[in-house]
C-alpha cells in the first residue's frame, strides 16, 4: 500500500471498511475537545446516521472513565467514537462497553498474536498488565421519545507512544502497542479491524444472539480468578476474589467471608498479576 493510502482519514477508512452499519458515515477531525462530546452533540440533533464514526488525530480534552482525562500526543493514538442512535434495551449500554473492549482485544490478537491482550473488568484493555486501551460509553435519552436511548461508544488505544510520551502519573500503568511490538503500528489498519469486529459483535447482540460473546469475553478476562480490590463509587474499598461476570455485566466477587457480591461499577485493582 502506498503511503497516501495508509493515512488515517475518512476516505481511506471508508475504502477499507466492509461493514454495513458502522462507518457508513465517517467524520475525521484534526483536532477536537473530545470525540465523545462531539458525538453526544450530534445525537442531540436528529439526522445523524446509526453507526457514525467520529475519529480525531488529537483531543484537547479527552475523557476517561471516572472523570479522568485521556491524554494522547498528536497522531500517536486511536481516538474514536461510534454513535448508536437507538439502543433497544437498557441493558445494552454495559454490553456496548464490553463489545468495545472485546473488539479491541480481538483485533490486537488478530494483528499481533504474540502480544496477548486481556480485558480488566469492566473494559480496560491490557497487555502484560499495562493498559493499552480504554472504553467510555455515554448515553442520551431522546427528548421526543423518552424510552429511546442513544449512545456514544468512545474508544482510545495507545498505539505509537514511546514510554516518555506518558505522564509520570500513568507511566507505570500504561503502555502502547509500539512499546510491545517495537514497530510503528498503522492506525488505519487497526481501526478498520476494530470496527469490523465491533459490527459483527453488535449485530449479533442486537438480534439477541450470543455466539460465544460471554465465552470469548471471559476467556480474555484478566480479572476472573484474581484477588482484587474494588474501589466503589461510594469511596469504599472491598477485597475479594473475582469469580464470574454475569449476563447483566456484573462482576461477581467472593468476599473473604465467603459471600458472593455483584459489582456493577467501580474501579478494579488487581492484586496479583499472572500472565
Exactly one of 23, 51, 117, 134 binds ligand BTN (CB under 6 A); which one?
134
Binding to ligand BTN, residues 60-99 (CB under 6 A): 62-65, 68, 70, 79-81
Alpha-carbon 267 to chain mean position: 15
Cβ closest to ligand BTN, residue 75 vs residue 212: 75
Q: Does 34 bind ligand BTN (CB under 6 A)?
A: yes
C-alpha cell at position 270: 488487581
When asked if residue 135 is in the footprint of ligand BTN (CB under 6 A), the reply is: yes
Site for ligand BTN in 154-213 (CB under 6 A): 154-156
Answer yes or no: are the C-beta atoms of 121 and 106 closer than 8 Å: no
Residue 52 contacts ligand BTN per CB under 6 A: no
Enumerate residues 6+ apart whose C-beta is below 8 A from 212: none
Q: Is 103 among the residues that bind ligand BTN (CB under 6 A)?
A: no
User: Which range binds ligand BTN by CB under 6 A, 85-93, 148-156, 159-167, 263-271?
Assistant: 148-156
| Of residues 131 and 254, the one with the C-beta less far from ligand BTN | 131
Torsion-angle region of 128 (φ positive above 0: left; ψ -120 to 50: alpha; else: beta)? left
Q: How many residues bind ligand BTN (CB under 6 A)?
A: 20
User: Min. distance of Cβ 2 from ligand BTN in angstroms?
Assistant: 28
Minimum distance of ligand BTN from residue 254's CB (angstroms) = 26
51/206 Cα distance (integer angstroms): 13
* DSSP H or E run through 269: strand 267-270
Which single residue brings its beta carbon nearest to ligand BTN? 134
Residue 243: CB minimum distance to ligand BTN, A: 24
Residue range at the interface with ligand BTN (CB under 6 A); choices 153-161, 162-170, 211-219, 232-240 = 153-161
Q: What is the Cα 86 distance to its own chain's centre?
A: 19
Counting beta carbons within 10 angstroms of the beta carbon of residue 87, is it exposed (0 to 12), middle (13 to 18) or buried (19 or more)? middle
What is d(CA 103, CA 111) in angstroms, rounded to the nearest whole number?
Answer: 12
Shortest reach from residue 124's CB to ligand BTN, in Å: 6
Within positions 107 to 126, which residues make up the interface with ligand BTN, using CB under 6 A? 124
DSSP one-letter string for 44-65: HSS-PPTT-EEEES-BSS-B-G
With CA atoms as reference, report the closest residue to 139 among 85, 188, 203.
85
137 contributes a contact to ligand BTN by CB under 6 A: no
CB nearer to ligand BTN: pick between 70 and 178: 70
**Which residue has cell 437498557?**
90
Q: Which residues 6+ apart lie within 8 Å of 65 measured at CB?
A: 134, 136, 267
Q: Which triple of cell numbers denotes residue 98?
A: 464490553
Residue 32 or 201: which CB sits closer to ligand BTN? 32
In the complex, the residues that contact ligand BTN under the rule CB under 6 A are 34-36, 59, 62-65, 68, 70, 79-81, 124, 134-136, 154-156
Amino acid at each position: 500500500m502506498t503511503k497516501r493510502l495508509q493515512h488515517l482519514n475518512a476516505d481511506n477508512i471508508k475504502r477499507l471498511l466492509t461493514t454495513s452499519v458502522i462507518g457508513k458515515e465517517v467524520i475525521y477531525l484534526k483536532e477536537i475537545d473530545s470525540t465523545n462530546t462531539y458525538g453526544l452533540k450530534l445525537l442531540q440533533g436528529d439526522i445523524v446516521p446509526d453507526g457514525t464514526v467520529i475519529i480525531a488525530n488529537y483531543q484537547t480534552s479527552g475523557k476517561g472513565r471516572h472523570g479522568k482525562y485521556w491524554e494522547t500526543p498528536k497522531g500517536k493514538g486511536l481516538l474514536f467514537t461510534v454513535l448508536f442512535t437507538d439502543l433497544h434495551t437498557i441493558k445494552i449500554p454495559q454490553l456496548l462497553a464490553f463489545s468495545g473492549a472485546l473488539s479491541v482485544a480481538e483485533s490486537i490478537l488478530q494483528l499481533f498474536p504474540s502480544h496477548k491482550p486481556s480485558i480488566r473488568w469492566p473494559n480496560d484493555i491490557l497487555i502484560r498488565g499495562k493498559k493499552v486501551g480504554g472504553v467510555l460509553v455515554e448515553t442520551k435519552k431522546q427528548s421526543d421519545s423518552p424510552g429511546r436511548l442513544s449512545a456514544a461508544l468512545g474508544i482510545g488505544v495507545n498505539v505509537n507512544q514511546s514510554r516518555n510520551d506518558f505522564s509520570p502519573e500513568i507511566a507505570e500503568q500504561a503502555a502502547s502497542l509500539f512499546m510491545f511490538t517495537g514497530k510503528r503500528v498503522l492506525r488505519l489498519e487497526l481501526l478498520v479491524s476494530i470496527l469490523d469486529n465491533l459490527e459483527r459483535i453488535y449485530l449479533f447482540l442486537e438480534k439477541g444472539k450470543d455466539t460465544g460473546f460471554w465465552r470469548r469475553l471471559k476467556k480474555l478476562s484478566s480479572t476472573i480468578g484474581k484477588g482484587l480490590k474494588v474501589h466503589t463509587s461510594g469511596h469504599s474499598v472491598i477485597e475479594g476474589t473475582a469469580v464470574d461476570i454475569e449476563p447483566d455485566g456484573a462482576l461477581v466477587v467472593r468476599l473473604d467471608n465467603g459471600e458472593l457480591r455483584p459489582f456493577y461499577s467501580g474501579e478494579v485493582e488487581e492484586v496479583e498479576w499472572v500472565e
